[in-house]
Amino acid sequence: MKHISKKIFTLLLVCIALNCFAQKEGKDFKAIDEYVKKLGTLDSLNMGTISSLLTKNYSDKTDKVRAIYDWIAYNIAYDLKNAGSGSGDKNTSTEVLLRRKATGAGYATLFQDMCSSAGIRCLTADGFVKFGADQINDTKTEINHSWAVVQLGQSPEAWYYADPCWGAGYTDAEFKTFTKAFNPDYFFADLTIFNWQHYPDNMAWQLGPGPKNKKDFFGMPVIKSAAYELGLKKMNPNDGVVKVKVNKPLAFSYQLNSNATVTKVALVFGEGKKKKIKDVPFSFSGNMLGFTYKFEEEDSFPVTVLVNGKELAEYMVDIE
């Protein structure tokens, strides 16, 4: 009976993941994206009015949510100063619209309020993310991010992730600069990849398969945005801290989507001024990307895997 129940539970998780994928697959959001761009910044308008302007032309709830996601990602910048202070102030929708800046909590709050104004149920999830290899295995990390769960129906199969903060752009490793770069991958995101990047403080908001606990989450590599484009499904090593002997080959392998293409693989060693990048030979067959690398000296530093020039995963490598 336990074996049967486990199979049913596994099947349910697969169905949830497929449903989330299907909600975006085949839909063309270009017209919505362009409409939102043409609306512009909508300065001096309040939250409800902006939400109405964004959604009034659409009857489909997914399209309404996409328009809201777009506008926030296009027009709200990451608040580096407030994030650095550790303060949770200035993240109400009113403050965010006034300043046009927010931390993750502000992005999520504004997104939730706009969705609610449009008659769409949306809740904010608080939790944990890893920004770099220095956070791997650091289970003492306090809540450091917020995102949204959109509910388009009663069943969990009709619940979706959205992270308008990460959809708006990215910061450098030192959190000194923010680069605006619209990223649609965090709209109704792939559940598995999103869960590798985000861990909720309340497990009720973990949709689909993911780490079982905070320790498992922080023990994983830091999964980067290229995972969505490539459709990352499995990885090896799957531990964030990797120990290897000097001059002993360390094997890396990644299962990607059937439509993924790989033209170049490189490794980034270290960070800051000491950072070095080196191309590595690789094989890519049957959706499996594989390569090995030998480290020549004892040391310990972050290693980031680049695929087609984009970050896929980051590890902390200890060479003995």
Alpha helix segments (H runs only) across 135-287: 164-168, 191-197, 214-219, 226-230
On average, the pLDDT of the chain sits at 90
For residue 173, the model assigns a pLDDT of 76
For residue 83, the model assigns a pLDDT of 80
Stretch 47-60: mean pLDDT: 97
Share of the chain above pLDDT 90, in %: 82
Q: Which CATH entry fits the domain spanning 234-319: 3.60.21.10, 2.60.40.10, 3.50.50.60, 3.30.565.10? A: 2.60.40.10
For residue 9, the model assigns a pLDDT of 37
Q: What does the domain layout of the chain look like in residue ranges?
A: 2-220, 234-319
For residue 86, the model assigns a pLDDT of 54
* pLDDT exceeds cutoff 60 at 13: no
How remote is the C-alpha of 174 from its chain's centroid?
A: 19
Q: What are phi and psi of 254, to 5 degrees?
A: -140, 130
For residue 153, the model assigns a pLDDT of 86
In contact, 179 and 169? CB cutoff 8 Å? yes
For residue 166, the model assigns a pLDDT of 97
Lowest mean pLDDT among 23-32, 170-179, 288-297: 23-32
* pLDDT exceeds cutoff 90 at 14: no
- With H, G, I as helix, E, B as strand and everything else as coil, classify residue 167: helix
For residue 85, the model assigns a pLDDT of 57
Residue 27 pLDDT class (50, 70, 90 cuts): confident
Residue 82 pLDDT class (50, 70, 90 cuts): confident
Residue 15 pLDDT class (50, 70, 90 cuts): very low
Instruction: Give Cβ neighbours of residue 196 (< 8 Å, ≥ 6 apart).
Output: 210, 211, 220, 223, 227
End-to-end alpha carbon distance in the chain: 47
Share of the chain above pLDDT 70, in %: 90
Stretch 279-304: mean pLDDT: 96
**What digits encode the pLDDT tens for the residues 87-144?**
556 789 999 999 999 999 999 999 999 999 999 999 999 999 999 999 999 999 999 9
For residue 26, the model assigns a pLDDT of 62
* pLDDT exceeds cutoff 90 at 10: no
Crossing angle of helices 30-39 and 47-55, in 10° steps, is: 140
Crossing angle of helices 104-117 and 47-55, in 10° steps, is: 60
Report DSSP letters for 264-283, one per residue: -EEEEES-GGG-EEEE---E
Stretch 189-209: mean pLDDT: 96
Residue 3 pLDDT class (50, 70, 90 cuts): very low
CA angle 44, 49, 53 (to 5 degrees): 110
Stretch 38-48: mean pLDDT: 96
Stretch 264-269: mean pLDDT: 97
For residue 87, the model assigns a pLDDT of 53
For residue 54, the model assigns a pLDDT of 98
**What digits encode the pLDDT tens for the residues 203-254?**
999 999 999 999 999 999 999 999 999 999 999 999 999 999 999 999 999 9
Q: Which CATH entry fits the domain spanning 2-220: 3.10.620, 1.10.1670, 1.10.287, 3.50.4? A: 3.10.620
For residue 81, the model assigns a pLDDT of 87
